[in-house]
């Protein structure tokens, strides 16, 4: 039992009776109903008017029906399979190691200390997430904010637009000086540009 929160050092305990009793009361009829209905519902004709299964395209149910010999035989077969015996071996091993001979898990805890450290730290996934993924995401976000938001959007488009407008307006204001010779100069330059275009370029 391991934990890093405020309740990490409490001993494991069973669920209170207000949780256990309803679960037991629900489990008993579930077993009885399953025992009585597994044959007609899955392999009988209980759903023949509402569900149709093409045995040619979906032969799995037909193969299961051939291997099914009743709920009692299925339950007894479950007692002879490897998962049942592995689960039973796990229960017996845990009982022996923690009730009969507690020195055994202590020995393995010392011998397999590096592996236990890795498991207690959840394969260091929290550290990787915080120091690599999260920090990298924050760095990327900060870079995009400084370059994209401040430099490009604010610096170039927002602030740059009014600077360009100010520059253009300053040039236009210089031409709109009110002096006649300025207007005459602009007219002469315009005529020169038009003549150059039509004579040399066009």
* Domain edge (last residue) among 78, 93, 124: 124
Distances (CA, A) of 33 to 62, 77, 78: 23, 20, 19
Q: In this predicted model, what pLDDT tens digit does every residue of 89-143 receive, in sequence order? A: 999 999 999 899 989 988 988 898 999 899 888 899 999 998 999 999 998 989 8
Specify if 5 maps to a domain.
Answer: no
Position 27 scores a pLDDT of: 95
Domain membership of residue 22 (yes or no) is yes
What DSSP letter does each residue of 70-102 carry, written as one string?
-HHHHHHHHTTSHHHHHHHHHHHHHHIIIII-T
34 in the same domain as 113? yes
Which one of 74, 105, 124 terminates a domain? 124
The answer to whether residue 87 is domain-embedded is: yes
In a domain, 62, yes or no: yes
Q: Of 69, 92, 124, which one is at a domain's C-terminal end? A: 124
The Cβ of residue 42 has, within 10 Å, a number of other Cβ atoms equal to 13
Is a pLDDT exceeding 50 seen at residue 51?
Answer: yes
Q: How many domains does the chain have?
A: 2
Task: Give pLDDT, residue 198.
Answer: 83
Average pLDDT of the chain is: 85
143: containing domain: 128-201
Residue 38 and residue 119 in one domain: yes
User: Is residue 6, in this structure, part of any structural domain at all?
Assistant: no
**Cβ–Cβ contacts within 10 Å for residue 68, how many?**
16
Statement: residue 8 has pLDDT above 60: no
The tens digit of pLDDT for each residue in 21-40 reads 999 999 999 999 999 998 88
Establish how many alpha carbons lie within 13 A of residue 165's alpha carbon, considering only the half-sphere containing its beta carbon: 7
**Percentage of residues of the chain with pLDDT beyond 70:** 93
Within a 13 Å sphere around the CA of 6, how many CA atoms are in the beta-carbon half? 0
Q: What is the pLDDT of residue 202?
A: 60
Say if residue 173's pLDDT is above 60: yes
């Amino acid at each position: 039992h391991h934990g890093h929160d405020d309740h990490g050092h409490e001993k494991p305990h069973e669920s209170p009776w207000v949780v256990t009793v309803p679960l037991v009361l629900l489990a008993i009829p579930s077993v009885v109903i399953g025992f009585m209905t597994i044959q007609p519902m899955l392999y009988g004709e209980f759903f023949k008017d509402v569900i149709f299964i093409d045995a040619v395209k979906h032969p799995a149910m037909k193969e299961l029906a051939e291997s099914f010999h009743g709920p009692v035989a299925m339950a007894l077969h479950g007692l002879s399979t490897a998962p049942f015996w592995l689960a039973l071996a796990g229960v017996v091993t845990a009982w022996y190691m923690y009730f009969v001979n507690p020195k055994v898990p202590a020995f393995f805890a010392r011998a397999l200390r590096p592996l236990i450290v890795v498991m207690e730290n959840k394969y260091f996934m929290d550290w990787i997430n915080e120091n690599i993924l999260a920090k990298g995401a924050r760095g990327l976000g900060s870079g995009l904010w400084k370059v994209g938001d401040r430099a490009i959007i604010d610096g170039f488009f927002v602030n740059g637009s009014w600077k360009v407008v100010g520059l253009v307006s300053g040039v236009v204001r210089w031409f709109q000086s009110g002096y006649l010779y300025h207007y005459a100069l602009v007219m002469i330059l315009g005529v020169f540009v038009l003549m150059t275009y039509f004579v040399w370029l066009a």
